Amino acid sequence: MYSSIFWISINIVLSILIIYIIHHIWNYLKDTYSTKKTKDLVNTQIDKYKKIIDELQENQTNTQVISKNDFESMDNDLTAFMENELK
């Protein structure tokens, strides 16, 4: 009776020890032979924000000014189109 309990406990201890050793070997190999991937989340977001701001400022300087005649012509065309659609 005691002999079987002794062997079961030895088996459990050895199994846990083997799992522990394999786990540490795996972590060592992973840390030694793989490259760590780090992502700079703060600066990438700041760079994206600056890029968007630059694009918006560039677009503001390149905006086309619509002359009053062109605006009135487009307004008349739109009014005529809406009147035709409502009939």
Confidence band for 25, pLDDT divided at 50, 70 and 90 = very high
Q: Is pLDDT above 90 for 63?
A: no
Dist CA 80 CA 72 (whole Å): 12
Q: Is pLDDT above 90 for 13?
A: yes
Q: Is pLDDT above 70 for 64?
A: no
Confidence band for 48, pLDDT divided at 50, 70 and 90 = very high
Judgement on whether residues 52 and 64 belong to the same structural domain of the protein: yes
Dist CA 76 CA 65 (whole Å): 19
Confidence band for 14, pLDDT divided at 50, 70 and 90 = very high
Residue with tokens 């994206």: 48
Note the pLDDT of residue 32: 93
CA torsion 76-78-82-83 (nearest 10°) is 10
Judgement on whether residues 69 and 52 belong to the same structural domain of the protein: yes
Dist CA 86 CA 79 (whole Å): 11
Judgement on whether residues 27 and 51 belong to the same structural domain of the protein: no
Q: Is pLDDT above 90 for 1?
A: no
Judgement on whether residues 49 and 64 belong to the same structural domain of the protein: yes
Instruction: Please state the length of the chain.
Output: 87
pTM of the model: 0.44
- Say how many domains are in the chain: 2
